[in-house]
Structure 1
Amino acid sequence: MMVMTHVLVGIVLGVVATLFAPEAAPLAVVAGGLGGLVPDLDLYVGHRRTLHFPVYGPLAAVGAVGLAALAPSVETVALAVFLASAGVHAAMDALGGGLELKPWQATSDRAVYSHFHGRWLRPRRLVPYDGAPADLVLAGALAVPTLLLAGAPVDGAVAGLLVVATGYTLLRRRLATVWARLVHLVPPDLVEYLPNRFAVVHRAGGAPPSDD
């Protein structure tokens, strides 16, 4: 799923947390958004493996929520929201598409790496791929409770995320073709630093001629 959806999940978790711990606002909302974003910072260093923990992440979140319940404070609530958002991000990726450059082709059997199981989890494709229309619908649905419960400046941030998500969804397939063509401009000695889905295209030679 696209990072905008994950960030919106985190914001929702932060907003819900502040209903029970108003003193934690706005830090909890910021922590939730960051928790939804941080796992995808591994894009160029083992994407969906280095910072994604679909089992350990939720377990850590449960522990942090317990700590926040026993010793509520701005810091413990924010930590719980951050870990919950990051854990949900990794778990949600198992429900989406694979890691190939054009995930709508459904050729990859890798969704997210589970350090607990010591293997890649297969994509469930309930949301077919990041930037799919279903992904945008999910992002919109997540925005509703936030817009109802939160005020400015959270509403502005949510609206901005939806605008970016809409643009990404409209351009998603074309972007894949553009990326496939641009990757051939990368010098061979730098290919090892590319995400694997790009490196595969580079090594194969030739760029896909269409968005299909």
Structure 2
Amino acid sequence: MMLPTHVLAGMLLAAPLVRVAPELATVGFVAGFLGGLFPDLDMYVGHRKTLHYPVYYSALAGVFLMVALAAPSALTVAAALFFLGAALHSVSDMHGGGLELRPWEGNSDRAVYDHYQKRWIAPRRGVRYDGAAEDLALSVGLSLPLLYLLDGPLQLIVGGTLLVAAVYTVLRRHLAELAALLIPLVPAMLTPYLPDRYADMESGK
């Protein structure tokens, strides 16, 4: 799934705070956003492995959620929502496409790495690939309650994220083709540093 879908999902996890602890809602929405964002910081360094931990984030989320329920504060709520967002991101990547430059071709058997079992989890392709029409539909669906619940800067962030999702969906396949054209132009000394999905294409695999 694309990053906008992940961050919107992370934010929506904080929605119950609007009713049960409105004074902590803002920190919860921000933490959920950051948690949904964090795993994809490994985009060019072992993507879906270096910072994706479907098992360990889920365990940490459970621990910090219990702590936040027992002793609610800005810090405990932020920690709980951050790890919940990161866990949801890592787990939901299992239901998307594989880790390849053109995931719509369905050639990859790698969706996300499970560090606990030390193996790659195969893609289930409920969402065919990041930026697919159903991915955009998810982003729209997640954004609607957020746009209703939020106002001010947070509402603008949701609107901006949705705009990024729409643009990315329109350009997704074109970006892959552009990358395929540019990869052969990369100097040989730099190709060892390409992400696997680019390096495989460069080597003709």
TM-score (norm 1): 0.93
Q: SS at the partner of 2:203? A: helix
1: distance between equivalents of 2:103 and 2:124?
A: 12
Partner of 2:34: 34
Partner of 2:184: 184
- CA distance in 2 between partners of 1:201 and 1:78 (Å): 40
Q: Distance in 1 between matches of 2:19 and 2:99?
A: 37
Pairs aligned (count): 205
Q: Give 3-state SS (helix, strand or coil) of 1:197's partner.
A: helix
Please report how far the alpha carbon of residue 167 of structure 1 lies from its aligned counterpart in structure 2 after TM superposition: 0.7
Is the 1:17–1:81 contact (alpha carbons within 8 Å) kept by the matching residues of 2?
Answer: no
Give the structure 1 partner of residue 137 of structure 2: 137
Q: Structure 2: which 5+ runs fail to align?
A: none
Displacement of 1:149? 1.4
148-157 vs 69-78, which deviates more? 148-157
Query: Which residue is equivalent to 2:169?
Result: 169
Match of 2:146?
146
Q: What aligned pairs does 1:17-56 form with structure 2 within 5 A after superposition?
A: 17-56=17-56
The separation in 2 between residues aligned to 1:150 and 1:13, in whole angstroms, is 13
Partner of 1:70: 70
User: Following the alignment from structure 1 to structure 2, what is the Cα–Cα distance between the partners of residues 20 and 39?
Assistant: 28
Q: Secondary structure at the match of 2:113?
A: strand
- CA drift of 1:57 comes to 1.1
The superposition leaves residues 8-47 of structure 1 with CA deviations (integer Å, 9 ceiling, x where unpaired) of 0111113333432222232221111111111000111110
Aligned to 1:210: none
- Residues 1:116 and 2:113 are matched in the alignment: no
Task: Map Cα deviations across residues 126-145 of structure 1 (whole Å, 9 max, x no partner).
Answer: 00000000000000000111
Q: Which sits farther off after the overlay, 123-132 or 15-24?
A: 15-24
Residues 44 and 194 of structure 1 are in contact (CA less than 8 Å); yes or no, is this contact kept in structure 2?
A: yes
1:61 aligned onto 2:61: yes
Distance 1:44 1:146 in 2: 30
Give the secondary-structure state (helix, strand or coil) at the position aligned to 1:94. helix
- What is the aligned-residue RMSD (CA, Å)? 1.2
The CA deviation string for residues 150-185 of structure 1, in whole angstroms up to 9 with x for no partner, is: 222222111111111101101111110001111122
Q: Percent identity?
A: 50
Which amino acid counterpart does residue 105 of structure 2 have in structure 1?
A: Q
Is the Cα contact below 8 Å between 1:17 and 1:77 reproduced in 2? no
**AA aligned opposite 1:123:** P
Are the aligned partners of 1:131 and 1:165 in contact in 2 as well (CA < 8 Å)? Answer: yes
Q: Which structure 1 residue ranges, 4+ long, deviate > 6 Å from structure 2?
A: none
| 1:208 match | none
Q: Which moved more, 1:142-151 or 1:22-31?
A: 22-31
CA distance in 2, matches of 1:54, 1:113: 8
Deviation at 1:105? 0.3
Does structure 2 retain, via aligned residues, the 8 Å contact 1:40–1:48?
Answer: yes
